[in-house]
Structure 1
Amino acid sequence: MQNRQITITELPKDTLGPEHFTLQDAPMPKAAEGEVLLRVILMSIDAANRSWMKGATYRAAVNAGDAMPTYALCEVMESNSPHISVGNIVASEATWSNYITAPARRVQKMPKVETLSHLMSVYGIAGKTAFHGLMSIGKPMAGETVLVSAAAGSVGGYVGQIAKVLGCRVVGIAGGAEKCKWVVDELGFDACVDYREGGLSRALGAACPNGADIYFDNVGGKILESALNVMNEKGRVICCGAISQYDTENPAGPRNLPGVIVIKRLLMEGFIVMDFAHNDAKCIRAMQHWVSTGQVKVFEDIVEGLENAPQALIGLLGGNNKGKRLVRVAADPS
């Protein structure tokens, strides 16, 4: 068994590039007492990966020289714990590596599913984030209008599909005419606005003639500012991410805060997916039903090879993915 690892060569001061990463051979880790040796199969690629390089968030900051952290699906190769067996598929905090070790008490045994990658997308981080944010903070009701940014992304696509299942009108925001068409034709949104065209506030007003009751924000910045302008009184704004702000040293926040919140009496709340882990089982049951009935479609964007992880993240920050982006490090167990 050979181990490789991608480390951060230097922290980016502005736009992330390949020069900020180094792929190198690494010692094969050994599992200590109470630990497991894991073969990394699929790694989650998320905009949050970039935010970790800017300082401490809900987790410790990532520094130059560190192996790039991630969340991964792994196969247990060795176990020094009676609770985890060799051959188990687990989800674990990991690094961009072929092999890692982890405390057995901190890995999560995963159920058997027909398609392993779905444990990272529709039944994993992406699906749970969409479900928990929309349901627990947005509290959608049939007939309401739900506005979603990064609508073609890993989370936004599920937010819109769930809202449609619940009887809402759904308007997306995405970059480029082709992506907007895909959001409408494939994901079933009622409309999608191209933020690259200019005149975003006017375009949103036209797409939401009766205003928006819920806005699920994945991008922050000027798009958040424009979205707030079309919110109805007593609307709910769900703050999930700020991808437009991660890859720059000059972030631009909405200029209409806090005034618009006061005038429209808006609820604006941020969250991370772990906040609602107590509702995970409810989420999975709902998503499995909706997938089985065809009401929710699963779209994944899987990049092959550990060595391509840096470009996978760089591309995601540039908006070139549709659906949940993953990096396949190794083949699924046979």
Structure 2
Amino acid sequence: MSGGGAMAAAGEEVPNKMVILKRYVTGFPSEDDMEVVTGTAHLAVPPGSAAMVVKNLYVSCDPYMRGRMTKHDRPSYVPDFVPGEVLVNFGVGKVMASGHPDFKVGDLVWGMTGWEEYTLVPKPETFFKINHPELPLSYYTGVLGMPGLTAWAGFFDVGKPKKGDYVFVSAASGAVGQLVGQLAKLTGCYVVGSAGSDEKVNLLKTKFGFDEAFNYKKEQDLDAALRRYFPEGIDIYFENVGGQTLEAVLDNMRVHGRIPVCGMISQYNLEQPEGVHNLFQVVAKRLRMEGFMVFDYFNQYYKFEEEMAGYLKEGKVSYVEDVADGLEKAPAALIGLFTGRNVGKQLVAVARE
């Protein structure tokens, strides 16, 4: 027995292309901060181990990765990446080898994986099985994955929407924003989104069904723009950008408004984050501004997956993806998030099934 086990443990050794962090980043990241290298991977798990090996099909590009590229003196909410090591983020994969009773060879899964062709996953229980392989597998980096769960939890649990609410979404054509707007419409809200190009604004109004949308780069005065679109004020602001947008929104919130704080992409590359100078509006208008983390909702994932898969199949939710082909395109795809180069959810196809 032991001889066979040892042979299986050695496993087939295959080339493994990977994206590593070359150095810690300050200010705006560049492609040169990362490097695509080739190593090897074993397509087997150590004997007696409950690990699994996945072949990565798609990996996700998400703005929060920028924070992990910086060295933090105080620990951040997610660990810093380590220079010389493979970048990690959510991805979709196929199980190639498994010592875990719940995961079999051939299973389709999503979870925190490496930016590489093959990843050894020490704790498969952190992964989710894919229950709707009839939908595009790439959706599990987006609408059926972490960004979808983020939109669903942030809007419903933190935002507490009611029919007829006035909802504003920033970065509205991104991975999370496009879904928040559509969930708001399904709830019976009036929805306006902001985005950074006319193409994205058009997408919001035609494909995603927003009531109105505007290009924030063309607005000299954000406060005036918000007054134009929300003469009665805003009930829910789904916060994705921070900075000047947040400041303009605070002046336009209605009494007892809610602000689920999902992210602040305008601040991630600044050496000195911008201040917000009108926070007293939180008091004056009795606002509730609450940050949230998608990890806190992972226990509700399968409930979310069924609900969202239903919306997709019924045509109630549309989703737009921006797919970069091949790991060598991953660094540019990630950097593009911070200039708004992507249209819709940015992901990388590592190996299409």
Question: Segments of 4+ in structure 1 off by > 3 A?
Answer: none
Deviation (angstroms), 1:288: 2.3
Corresponding residue for 1:45?
61
**C-alpha separation between the residues in 2 aligned to 1:86 and 1:171?**
45
Corresponding residue for 2:345?
324
Q: Confirm whether residue 107 of structure 1 aligns to residue 123 of structure 2.
A: no
> How does 1:283-294 map onto structure 2 within 5 Å?
283-294=304-315
**C-alpha separation between the residues in 2 aligned to 1:6 and 1:292?**
35
Q: Confirm whether residue 261 of structure 1 aligns to residue 275 of structure 2.
A: no
Q: What RMSD in Å do the two structures reach over aligned CA positions?
A: 1.5
Q: Confirm whether residue 214 of structure 1 aligns to residue 236 of structure 2.
A: yes
Cα distance change, pair 290–92 in 1 and its aligned pair in 2 (3 A): closer
Deviation (angstroms), 1:59: 1.5
Cα distance change, pair 15–324 in 1 and its aligned pair in 2 (3 A): same
**C-alpha separation between the residues in 2 aligned to 1:297 and 1:81?**
35
**C-alpha separation between the residues in 1 aligned to 2:106 and 2:302?**
24
Corresponding residue for 2:52?
36
Cα distance change, pair 292–81 in 1 and its aligned pair in 2 (3 A): closer
Corresponding residue for 1:64?
83
Q: Which amino acid aligns with 2:53?
A: L
Corresponding residue for 2:259?
237
**C-alpha separation between the residues in 2 aligned to 1:176 and 1:131?**
25
Instruction: Select between 113-122 and 181-190 the one with higher mean Cα deviation.
Output: 113-122
Instruction: Select between 274-283 and 319-328 the one with higher mean Cα deviation.
Output: 274-283
Equivalent residue pairs, number = 331
Corresponding residue for 1:5?
18
Corresponding residue for 2:115?
96
Corresponding residue for 2:104?
85
For the residue of structure 1 that corresponds to 2:341, the secondary structure is coil
State percent identity of aligned pairs. Answer: 37
For the residue of structure 1 that corresponds to 2:56, the secondary structure is strand
**C-alpha separation between the residues in 2 aligned to 1:304 and 1:245?**
28
**C-alpha separation between the residues in 2 aligned to 1:83 and 1:177?**
47
Asked if structure 1 preserves the Cα contact closer than 8 Å seen for 2:175 and 2:344, the reply is yes
**C-alpha separation between the residues in 2 aligned to 1:179 and 1:81?**
43
**C-alpha separation between the residues in 2 aligned to 1:158 and 1:317?**
20
Residue among 31, 37, 44 paired with 1:18: 31
Corresponding residue for 2:6?
none
TM-score relative to the length of structure 2: 0.90
Deviation (angstroms), 1:80: 2.1
Q: Which amino acid aligns with 2:31?
A: P
Residue by residue over 1:48-92, the C-alpha shift from the partner in whole angstroms, topping out at 9 and shown as x without a partner, is: 111222334322112322321111111111112333211111113
Instruction: Select between 107-116 and 213-222 the one with higher mean Cα deviation.
Output: 107-116
**C-alpha separation between the residues in 2 aligned to 1:71 and 1:79?**
19
**C-alpha separation between the residues in 2 aligned to 1:178 and 1:82?**
48
**C-alpha separation between the residues in 2 aligned to 1:282 and 1:106?**
17
For the residue of structure 1 that corresponds to 2:69, the secondary structure is helix
Deviation (angstroms), 1:118: 1.8
Residue by residue over 1:99-139, the C-alpha shift from the partner in whole angstroms, topping out at 9 and shown as x without a partner, is: 11012333322224212112222211121111110000111
Q: Confirm whether residue 177 of structure 1 aligns to residue 198 of structure 2.
A: yes
Asked if structure 2 preserves the Cα contact closer than 8 Å seen for 1:301 and 1:324, the reply is yes
Asked if structure 1 preserves the Cα contact closer than 8 Å seen for 2:51 and 2:121, the reply is yes
Deviation (angstroms), 1:314: 0.7
Cα distance change, pair 6–85 in 1 and its aligned pair in 2 (3 A): same
Q: Which has the larger radius of gyration?
A: 2
**C-alpha separation between the residues in 2 aligned to 1:205 and 1:112?**
42
Deviation (angstroms), 1:317: 1.5
Asked if structure 2 preserves the Cα contact closer than 8 Å seen for 1:154 and 1:322, the reply is no
**C-alpha separation between the residues in 2 aligned to 1:93 and 1:326?**
14
Residue among 192, 196, 202 paired with 2:217: 196
